[in-house]
């Protein structure tokens, strides 16, 4: 515990070993060019995402009238608030080199629990507390299984996904409407912004979550340990960092964020249904990757995940605005974007290949 | 799970190549043991809860019964799981098999529907040929991303998983394509010598893979790639080609499974066909005792794992419970099998059975998990496996290191 923790997180991660001799061919040329244009590749990846977002939005504004209004941009936040919160939790997990496949199912569990408990007449604040605690508890259990029992995160959270969906079905198969005063008030009212624009309370909350996450990751011992584990778990343990507590902690955070995402989703859609949020975990992972976080862990910024969600949202909005394009183009575009960003990470980042 | 030693002889078959050191001891070490035990418990439960479960009838020259249904319904998942076993053995994973399945079915039925003579054999041959070719191309794409570009398997195949369903919907134009063709009817509900066609196909693929990987050096080479790709390459193993090939193969199995699934219902549904089948296939492999960290794999285990999942589903349905409960039961069984397979739990169980010098120094799982701070385990991987790549293998995450 005597390790100095005052350095910025980027430095704490062991620096990627520079190739002794530059790689030959076009790969090497691109590699050198990208190295020369950026100092920290995390920041660079986030910048690429930001540029992409601006380009996408700009293209939309030129192509479709009514797209360029500020409210359309703000609606990206309003419509994707739950996904932002989900992606924040996922960022923590992925930064340690893990993955959380249960988050979509925990969102559904959150909506079903909230709806059924409210229907049973529980007061709204208590319901919120119970839902959040359940999410954190599920995350804690998965974290214990992953760290304590040395099981792979992929498979543990997969079991967690089945469990959460199963509990959803056990509570209620059909969709339950939410008529609680607090929930509907939050859903209907908005925060007025200058220029006649507005944000929903959910969107504001999502932005607050992003800010808190950024603070935790960059200004606390816990956050720096997260980066250190992603860089190298054994090094982190040898440095005397609280590896176990942190690894369990990120899954608690992810579970909590998923439950919060579930609450935001239930406010957004005002119902609880066991089939809500199918495949949402993949959207969250895609957003995190597009936001520049490396899946092996150790590098990435939570702001990138926010931008990643907004990129996904912009693509959906563009396809909605077009009207002539079918919804499956969303999937294809997201797939192509994922590919572009992964290849970009591969070319710019450290050697993360497994098979070559 | 107290009747663990009972099914032991069954598990010993796939480790026959290893030097003899006591059948029981070997079986106890085998990770397949708990999967077989779980399957036995499930079947035992069925024996008590609904005795009709085991009834077999031979009618019109065909075999009928719940057990046949289990084996028949498991065919597509098992087929994919066989391919997935090889991929996971190379320390990879393929999330895109569900999408490949959907594309294969969509391609085949779109061709049949659009043909001049939808019911002719040549149409079916063309449809099957193009669908399988599409599977091979998609597999080659995944294999290229993983082995040549060097992207992590989980994210490389996530690309196709996301885009693949979109492509399938593009092919079917968002509709559910229905078509009637005798060849597909036969594929969906036909029999060969009284056994459903799908079981025969899956059995043949299983046999071919088993012989190819266990009677030649191929299996060892695949495991070598999974244990340490860099070392395998230095030892003269063509790691890149092997990795590429397993991805092509798993996509091929997914394409065949796609033909089965669409033939079953005579309709290609791009949106829902094979939804979550990748997760079932991965679960089957992992329940069967093959570690996601690569290396040693067990085809027998995969078969048992797939049978567990399907028996569970059939059990829930035959008991008259709504199918919503399948997931819950699945989760419970999976969690139990995983807990029993966990290295720490296994170590603790072994210690209890024969206390003495053989026991490992690892602390008890619960105690270490609860204490949390600076556990000794991340330092541990140095001791059990000395040589192969401790720490410096690129792309190998820390917790995988711990697992080895």
Residues B361 and B259 both lie in one domain: no
Query: Quick one: pLDDT band at residue B188, thresholds 50, 70, 90?
Result: confident
Interface of B with A in 85-114 (CB under 8 A): 90-93
Residues B295 and B383 both lie in one domain: no
The distance of B77 to chain A (nearest Cα, Å) reads: 17
Query: Quick one: pLDDT band at residue B10, thresholds 50, 70, 90?
Result: very low
Where is average pLDDT lowest: A79-93, B31-45, B288-302? Answer: B31-45
CB contact under 8 A, B291 and A165: no
Q: Say if B18 falls within a structural domain.
A: no
Residues A352 and B146 sit within 8 Å (Cβ to Cβ): no
Output the CA torsion sign for A294, A295, A301, A304.
Answer: positive
Residues B259 and B370 both lie in one domain: no
The distance of A123 to chain B (nearest Cα, Å) reads: 28
CB contact under 8 A, B375 and A243: yes
pLDDT given at position B29? 64
Q: Which residues of B touch A326 (CB under 8 A)?
A: 169-170, 174
pLDDT at B27 over 90: no
CA distance B282 to A165: 18
Q: Residue B31: left (phi > 0), alpha (psi -120 to 50), or beta?
A: alpha
| Greatest CA separation for chain A | 68
CA distance A32 to B236: 31
pLDDT given at position B28? 62
pLDDT at A244 over 70: yes
Q: By C-alpha distance, which of B74, B124, B77, B165 is closest to B263?
A: B124
Residues B97 and B169 both lie in one domain: yes
Beta-bridged to residue B268, according to DSSP, are B177
Residues B316 and B376 both lie in one domain: no
Task: Name, in order, each residue with C-beta under 8 angstroms of B264's C-beta and a sequence gap of 6 or more.
Answer: B188, B189
pLDDT given at position A41? 64
Higher pLDDT, B354 or A306: A306
Any chain A CB within 8 A of the CB of B154? yes
Interface of B with A in 297-336 (CB under 8 A): 322, 324-332, 334-335
Both tokens of residue B245? 């090939």
Q: Which residues of A touch B343 (CB under 8 A)?
A: 149-150
Query: Quick one: pLDDT band at residue B31, thresholds 50, 70, 90?
Result: low
The distance of A148 to chain B (nearest Cα, Å) reads: 4
DSSP B295-352: S---HHHHHHHHHHHHHHHHHHHHTT--TTHHHHHHHHHHHHHHHHHSHHHHHHHHHH
CB contact under 8 A, A353 and B152: yes
pLDDT given at position B381? 39
Share of chain A above pLDDT 90, in %: 46
pLDDT at B42 over 80: yes
Residues B296 and B349 both lie in one domain: no
pLDDT at B370 over 90: no
Terminal CA-to-CA distance of chain A, rounded, Å?
38
Residues B295 and B362 both lie in one domain: no
Question: What's the number of domains chain B is made of?
Answer: 2
CA distance A95 to B248: 31
Where is average pLDDT lowest: A83-87, A269-273, B353-357? Answer: B353-357
CB contact under 8 A, B327 and A343: no
Beta-bridged to residue B177, according to DSSP, are B268
Q: Say if B17 falls within a structural domain.
A: no
- Count the helix, strand and coil residues of chain A and give each as a percent rounded to the nearest 5: 70, 5, 25
Q: By C-alpha distance, which of A79, A78, A98, A82 is closest to A209?
A: A82
CA distance B128 to B54: 35
Q: Say if B38 falls within a structural domain.
A: yes
Q: By C-alpha distance, which of A14, A83, A352, A148 is closest to B153?
A: A352
pLDDT given at position A255? 96
CA distance A336 to A319: 15
Q: Of B341, B356, B380, which one is at a domain's C-terminal end?
A: B341
pLDDT at B367 over 70: no
Q: Tokens 């690892």, residue?
A: B362
Q: Say if B60 falls within a structural domain.
A: yes
Query: Quick one: pLDDT band at residue B386, thresholds 50, 70, 90?
Result: very low
pLDDT, tens digit (0-9, with 9 covering 90-100), for A33-66? 555 443 356 778 888 889 999 999 998 888 888 8
The distance of A217 to chain B (nearest Cα, Å) reads: 19
DSSP B54-111: G-EEEETTEEEEHHHHHHHHHHHHHHHHHHHHHHHHTT---S-HHHHHHHHHHHHHHH
- For residue B176, which phi and psi values (nearest 5 degrees)? -90, 115
Q: By C-alpha distance, which of A56, A36, A43 is closest to A218?
A: A43
Domain assignment of residue B380, given as a range? 345-403
- For residue B245, which phi and psi values (nearest 5 degrees)? -65, -40
Angle at A207 between CA A205 and CA A211, to 5 degrees: 115
Q: Say if B356 falls within a structural domain.
A: yes
Residues A208 and B359 sit within 8 Å (Cβ to Cβ): no
Strand, coil or helix: what is A145?
A: helix
CA distance B67 to B46: 11
The whole-number average pLDDT for the span B126-146 is: 95
Element (DSSP H or E) covering residue B213: helix B197-214
Terminal CA-to-CA distance of chain B, rounded, Å?
26
Residues A114 and A176 sit within 8 Å (Cβ to Cβ): no
Task: Name, in order, each residue with C-beta under 8 angstroms of A119's C-beta and a sequence gap of 6 or more.
Answer: A176
pLDDT at A13 over 50: no
CA distance B274 to B373: 42
Both tokens of residue B356? 């003495």
What's the pTM value of the predicted model, to 2 decimals? 0.78
The complex scores an ipTM of 0.75
Element (DSSP H or E) covering residue B196: strand B195-196
CB contact under 8 A, A328 and B324: no
Q: Say if B3 falls within a structural domain.
A: no
Q: By C-alpha distance, which of A295, A235, A248, A239 is closest to A150?
A: A248
The whole-number average pLDDT for the span B133-155 is: 92
| Nearest CB to B166; choose among A234, A244, A335 | A335
pLDDT at A326 over 60: yes
Map out the domains of chain A with their CATH numbers: 40-60+69-348 (1.10.3470)
Question: Which of B372, B379, B382, B390 to substitute to test the interface with A, most A CBs within 10 Å?
Answer: B372
The whole-number average pLDDT for the span B189-213 is: 89
pLDDT given at position A287? 94
Any chain A CB within 8 A of the CB of B161? yes
CA distance B194 to B191: 5
CB contact under 8 A, B372 and A237: no
Find the helix packing angle between B197-214 and B182-189, rounded to 10°.
70
Both tokens of residue A90? 């996922």
Q: Say if B35 falls within a structural domain.
A: yes
Query: Quick one: pLDDT band at residue B404, thresholds 50, 70, 90?
Result: very low
Residues B323 and B364 both lie in one domain: no
Q: Which residues of B touch A95 (CB under 8 A)?
A: none
Tell me the Cα Rg of chain A: 21
Both tokens of residue B351? 């210690």
Interface of B with A in 58-87 (CB under 8 A): none
Residues B333 and B395 both lie in one domain: no
Residue B363: DSSP 8-state:
P
Q: Which residues of A touch B395 (CB under 8 A)?
A: 296, 351-354
Question: Which of B291, B374, B396, B402 to substitute to test the interface with A, most A CBs within 10 Å?
Answer: B374
Q: Residue B294: left (phi > 0), alpha (psi -120 to 50), or beta?
A: left
CA distance A60 to B271: 28
CA distance B1 to A110: 33
Both tokens of residue B177? 């394509």
DSSP A287-345: HHHHTT--TTSS---HHHHHHHHHHHHHHHHHHHHHSSS-THHHHHHHHHHHHHHHHHH
Strand, coil or helix: what is B257?
A: helix
Residues B253 and B371 both lie in one domain: no
CA distance B250 to B139: 7
Task: Name, in order, each residue with C-beta under 8 angstroms of A220's C-beta and a sequence gap of 6 or more.
Answer: none
Residues B37 and B1 sit within 8 Å (Cβ to Cβ): yes
CATH number for position B157: 1.10.3470
Share of chain B above pLDDT 90, in %: 29
Residues A270 and A184 sit within 8 Å (Cβ to Cβ): yes
Find the helix packing angle between A124-148 and A103-119, rounded to 10°.
150
Q: Say if B5 falls within a structural domain.
A: no
| Nearest CB to A155; choose among B338, B371, B391 | B338
The whole-number average pLDDT for the span A179-202 is: 87
The whole-number average pLDDT for the span B93-122 is: 90
Query: Quick one: pLDDT band at residue A4, thresholds 50, 70, 90?
Result: very low
Q: Of B292, B317, B341, which one is at a domain's C-terminal end?
A: B341
Q: Residue B289: left (phi > 0), alpha (psi -120 to 50), or beta?
A: left
- For residue B191, which phi and psi values (nearest 5 degrees)? -135, 145
Any chain A CB within 8 A of the CB of B248? no
Q: Please report, to the nearest 10 degrees, the dihedral formed by the alpha carbons of residues A289, B155, B225, B345 taken in order.
A: 80
Residues B232 and B366 both lie in one domain: no
pLDDT given at position A212? 96
Residues B359 and B278 both lie in one domain: no
CA distance B311 to B184: 26
């Amino acid at each position: 515990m005597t390790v100095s923790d005052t350095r910025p997180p980027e430095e704490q991660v062991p620096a990627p070993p520079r190739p002794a001799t530059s790689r030959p061919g076009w790969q090497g040329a691109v590699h050198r060019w990208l190295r020369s244009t950026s100092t920290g590749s995390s920041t660079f990846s986030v910048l690429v995402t930001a540029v992409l977002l601006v380009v996408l939005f700009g293209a939309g504004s030129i192509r479709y009238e009514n797209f360029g209004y500020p409210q359309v941009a703000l609606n990206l936040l309003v419509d994707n608030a739950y996904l932002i919160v989900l992606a924040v939790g996922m960022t923590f997990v992925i930064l340690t080199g893990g993955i959380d496949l249960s988050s979509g199912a925990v969102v559904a569990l959150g909506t079903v629990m909230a709806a059924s408990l409210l229907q049973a007449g529980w007061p709204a604040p208590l319901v919120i507390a119970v839902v959040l605690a359940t999410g954190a508890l599920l995350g804690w259990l998965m974290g214990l299984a992953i760290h304590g029992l040395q099981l792979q995160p992929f498979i543990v959270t997969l079991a967690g996904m089945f469990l959460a969906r199963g509990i959803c079905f056990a509570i209620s198969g059909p969709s339950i409407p939410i008529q609680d005063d607090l929930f509907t008030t939050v859903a209907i009212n908005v925060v007025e912004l200058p220029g006649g624009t507005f944000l929903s309370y959910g969107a504001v909350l999502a932005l607050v979550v992003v800010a808190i996450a950024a603070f935790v990751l960059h200004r606390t011992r816990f956050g720096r340990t997260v980066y250190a584990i992603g860089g190298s778990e054994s090094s982190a343990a040898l440095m005397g960092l609280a590896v176990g507590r942190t690894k369990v902690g990120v899954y608690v955070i992810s579970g909590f964020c998923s439950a919060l995402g579930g609450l935001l989703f239930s406010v957004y859609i005002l119902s609880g249904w066991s089939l809500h949020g199918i495949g949402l975990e993949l959207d969250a992972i895609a957003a995190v990757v597009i936001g520049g976080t490396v899946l092996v862990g150790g590098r990435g910024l939570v702001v990138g995940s926010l931008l990643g969600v907004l990129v996904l949202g912009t693509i959906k909005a563009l396809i909605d605005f077009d009207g002539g394009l079918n919804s499956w183009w969303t999937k294809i575009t997201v797939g192509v974007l994922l590919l572009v960003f992964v290849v970009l990470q591969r070319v710019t980042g450290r050697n993360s290949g497994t098979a070559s | 799970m107290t009747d663990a030693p009972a099914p032991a002889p069954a598990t010993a078959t796939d480790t026959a190549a290893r030097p003899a050191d006591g059948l029981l001891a070997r079986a106890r070490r085998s990770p397949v043991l708990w999967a077989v035990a779980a399957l036995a418990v499930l079947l035992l439960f069925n024996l008590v809860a609904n005795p009709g479960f085991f009834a077999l009838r031979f009618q019109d020259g065909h075999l009928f019964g719940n057990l046949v249904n289990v084996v028949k319904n498991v065919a597509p998942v098992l087929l994919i799981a066989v391919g997935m076993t090889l991929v996971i053995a190379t320390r990879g994973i393929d999330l895109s098999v569900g999408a490949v399945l959907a594309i294969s079915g969509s391609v085949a039925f779109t061709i049949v529907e659009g043909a001049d003579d939808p019911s002719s054999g040549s149409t079916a041959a063309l449809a099957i040929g193009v669908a399988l070719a599409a599977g091979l191309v998609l597999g080659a794409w995944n294999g290229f991303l993983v082995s040549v570009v060097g992207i992590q398997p989980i994210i490389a195949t996530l690309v196709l998983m996301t885009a693949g369903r979109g492509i399938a919907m593009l092919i079917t134009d968002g509709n559910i394509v229905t078509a009637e063709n005798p060849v597909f009817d036969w594929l969906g509900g036909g029999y060969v010598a009284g056994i459903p066609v799908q079981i025969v196909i899956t059995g043949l693929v299983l046999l071919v893979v088993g012989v190819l990987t266990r009677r030649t050096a191929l299996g060892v080479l695949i495991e070598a790639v999974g244990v340490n790709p860099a070392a395998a390459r230095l030892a003269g193993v063509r790691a890149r080609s092997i990795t590429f090939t397993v991805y092509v193969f798993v996509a091929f199995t997914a394409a065949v499974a796609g033909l089965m699934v669409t033939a079953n219902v005579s309709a290609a549904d791009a949106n829902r066909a094979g939804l979550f089948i990748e997760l079932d296939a991965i679960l089957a492999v992992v329940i069967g005792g093959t570690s996601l960290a690569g290396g040693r794999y067990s085809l027998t285990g995969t078969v048992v794992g797939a049978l567990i999942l399907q028996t569970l589903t059939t059990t829930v349905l035959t008991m008259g419970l709504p199918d919503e409960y399948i997931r819950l039961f699945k989760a419970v069984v999976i969690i139990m099998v995983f807990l029993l397979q966990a290295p720490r739990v296994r170590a603790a169980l072994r210690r209890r059975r024969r206390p003495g010098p053989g026991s490992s120094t690892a602390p008890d799982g619960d105690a270490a998990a609860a204490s949390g701070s600076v556990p000794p385990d991340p330092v541990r991987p140095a001791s059990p496996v000395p040589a192969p790549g401790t720490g410096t293998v690129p792309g190998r995450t820390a917790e995988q290191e711990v697992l080895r």
